[in-house]
Structure 1
Amino acid sequence: MGYFAGLDVSLEETAICIIDGAGHIVREARAAGEPEVLVAFFRASGMEMDRVGLEACSLTAWLHAGLTEAGIPAICIETRQAKAAMGAMPNRTDRNDASGIAQIMRTGWYRAVHVKSPSCRSRRALLTARRMVLNKRRDVENGICALVREVGLKVGTPNRKDFPARIRALAADDPVLTSLAESLLAVVEVMTREVERLTKRVIDEVRIEPKCRRLMTVPGVGPLTALAFRATIDRPDRFRRSRDVGAHLGCGDELARTALYEAAHSLLIRSKKWSALRAWGMNVAKRRGMARARVAVARKLAVILHRMWADDSEFRWGKHALALTAAA
């Protein structure tokens, strides 16, 4: 007889429920949410698990890796799907959620979530850290502007290089404001230095990653976009069709979606070389506006990047670009 288990994971401890093939609860327990503890629990149970389910969460990759390495068939399932399946429960508790996940494992009514490889998780961590520092730096800069604005001083729109000098000039006649501004500008300086270090790490990572270098042959796609796409997709074969990638990123991953949107902006606004993709995007912009064109081009970029990765193919500039190259 096969056995199925559900894990309701939390930071402190994990609720565990094991059921048999008929759906009857065989054992319930609570244990620390540590891979080695959970592995020891299943081994001590003496029951061979057919499937062990857990919802996608911040601890999922860590727990999933520990369980699968120990030979336990762990499956990560979509949070929305799990909630929909358990929504009819009159009383939502950790214990009941674990039981509900176990029943989902038994019936097979689930969609497994891809758990990214350690290398991809490391790359995503690098990109997330960089974006976090960028966002915090912007928050501090906005806070400085708000401080000087409270005394009637307007910063305007200086570039980042001129921002400290502009703030110091505005605050020069106010000792208290000068002192506060200097403290905050010191924070901005440290953050700027760390952003540069993290950006260099991204570039260094891309230099040794052949897939990223291939993706960067697409106009508008730089190191950040290439690494974000590489870290998000992980394995191209998990998408049956390239067009599924555009839909997946459109309603899911914010990191890759933002990177692709920025790449689309670069392609439409900064790129000088003609391509069929840029021509298509500019036509969309004429009909529906630049904002919608960026979204449309970002989705097309996702499809193109996936196909190039899956086929080891080159970017197709289009017939017009080929004709210009031949004429030159």
Structure 2
Amino acid sequence: MALYVGLDVSLRMTSICVVEADGSSVWEGKAESEPVPLVKVLSPWRDKIALVGIEACPLSEWLYGALVESGFQIVCIETRHAQRFLSSRPNKTDRSDARGIAEMMRLGHYRSVHVKSKASQLLRTTLIARKKFVDHMLAIEDTIRGLMKVHGLKLGAVHRSRFAARVETLLADAPDLRMAIEPLLEARNMMRKHKALMDRQLAQMARKDDVCKRLMTVSGVGPLVSLSFKATIDDPNRFKDSKAVAAHLGLTPRVYQSGEIDRSGNISKCGDKLMRHALYEAANSHMRISKKWSTLRAWGVKLAKRIGSRKACVAVARKLAIIMHRMWVEETDFRFGKPPVTQPT
């Protein structure tokens, strides 16, 4: 008889439940949240296990990959769907959750999520690290501005390339502040150098990748946006329709419909926040900075006059997600289109 396994993963220990197809329990217990102990526990039933279920969590991608390499059939289940199923149980314990996940596998009542490839995981880790790195650098700059403002030293609007020189100029009139400001300024300057190095390496990576080079034919899409899109989507064939990509990234409106009520609200903001922000920046660049005419840009500019530039950028970002996915699938470059011919008066 086929067996089904539920894994409830925590930082140190993982609760395990093995059940038969008729629902009877075979084994319940715990193992360390490491690949080797988990494989060791499941090995006695290796030939009988039909499916292993694991809830999406920070450790799930790592454990998923290890169990797949060990020959187990495993699915990673969607968190919100699992919580709704498990909330029907009167007691909330790790043991109960593991049993509930095993029951989901047995009944086929689960919604699987895509687990990214190792390459996409590494690329996404690098992009998130860069984002946090830049956030901390900007936080230090704001701290320097705030501390100097208290003493009447106003930096004003200054380009980041001249930020350090401007601070040094103001400190010349207030040497007593050097003890407080100089360590922050040195840390900021060092972080700026490392950011430039990281950006250079990411740009080289994008130029060597065929998919990224194709995506960068879109005006406003640079190395960071193209790499982020590739790391987030991972496998373009997992979307049957390109329009589903926009919904996956949270760029489609929320809908509430009940009886005679039918309302469309703001975008859902589900999915990857980093990718959604990158697409918004690309859309903003495509509409405002790029001067080359395109059908998409003309549509966005026309829409901005009617609903405002911010909402229009969101709409263009949604179209960009669809277009970039289609470009990836069809292996084609961006089509700018032809501007309308104006008749001479």
Q: Where on the TM-score scale, by shorter chain, does this alignment land: which range? A: over 0.9
Q: 1:161 aligns to what SS in structure 2?
A: helix
Separation in 2, partners of 1:136, 1:82:
35
Q: 1:123, CA displacement in angstroms?
A: 1.1
Q: 1:292 aligns to what SS in structure 2?
A: helix
Separation in 2, partners of 1:30, 1:69:
21
The answer to whether 1:257 aligns with 2:257 is no
Separation in 1, partners of 2:153, 2:248:
46
**Counterpart residue number, 1:313:** 332
**Counterpart residue number, 2:135:** 135
The answer to whether 1:301 aligns with 2:320 is yes
The 5 A counterparts of 1:40-55 are 40-45=40-45, 48-55=48-55
Q: 1:46, CA displacement in angstroms?
A: 5.8
The alignment yields a C-alpha RMSD, in angstroms, of: 1.5
Please say if residues 220 and 283 of structure 2, whose CA atoms lie closer than 8 Å, have aligned partners that are also in contact. Answer: yes
Unaligned runs of 5+ in 1: none
| TM-score, normalization by structure 2 | 0.90
Tell me the alpha carbon deviations over residues 216-256 of structure 1, each in whole angstroms, 9 at most, x when there is no partner. 11111111111100111011100010000011012201121
Q: 1:215, CA displacement in angstroms?
A: 0.6
Please say if residues 3 and 47 of structure 1, whose CA atoms lie closer than 8 Å, have aligned partners that are also in contact. Answer: no
**Counterpart residue number, 1:286:** 305
Q: 1:41, CA displacement in angstroms?
A: 1.0
Number of paired residues? 323
Q: 1:47, CA displacement in angstroms?
A: 6.0
Q: 1:320 aligns to what SS in structure 2?
A: coil
Separation in 1, partners of 2:43, 2:337:
58
Separation in 1, partners of 2:25, 2:156:
66
**Counterpart residue number, 1:186:** 186
Matching residue's letter, 2:291: K
Matching residue's letter, 2:153: L
Separation in 2, partners of 1:46, 1:144:
59
Q: 2:160 aligns to what SS in structure 1?
A: coil
Separation in 1, partners of 2:115, 2:333:
28
The 5 A counterparts of 1:1-328 are 1-45=1-45, 48-250=48-250, 251-320=270-339
Tell me the alpha carbon deviations over residues 173-213 of structure 1, each in whole angstroms, 9 at most, x when there is no partner. 43342121110011101111111111112111112210110
Compare 231-240 and 19-28 and name the one that shifted more. 19-28
Q: 1:259, CA displacement in angstroms?
A: 1.0
Please say if residues 46 and 72 of structure 2, whose CA atoms lie closer than 8 Å, have aligned partners that are also in contact. Answer: no
Q: 1:319 aligns to what SS in structure 2?
A: coil
Q: 1:35, CA displacement in angstroms?
A: 1.1
Please say if residues 6 and 98 of structure 1, whose CA atoms lie closer than 8 Å, have aligned partners that are also in contact. Answer: yes
Alpha-carbon spacing, 1:315–1:302, altered in 2? closer, same or farther (3 Å): same
Q: 1:39, CA displacement in angstroms?
A: 1.0
Matching residue's letter, 2:312: A
Q: 1:105, CA displacement in angstroms?
A: 0.8
Alpha-carbon spacing, 1:176–1:23, altered in 2? closer, same or farther (3 Å): farther
Separation in 1, partners of 2:88, 2:170:
61
Q: 2:11 aligns to what SS in structure 1?
A: coil
Please say if residues 168 and 181 of structure 1, whose CA atoms lie closer than 8 Å, have aligned partners that are also in contact. Answer: no
| TM-score, normalization by structure 1 | 0.95
Q: 1:301, CA displacement in angstroms?
A: 0.3
Separation in 2, partners of 1:172, 1:48:
76
Q: 1:241 aligns to what SS in structure 2?
A: coil
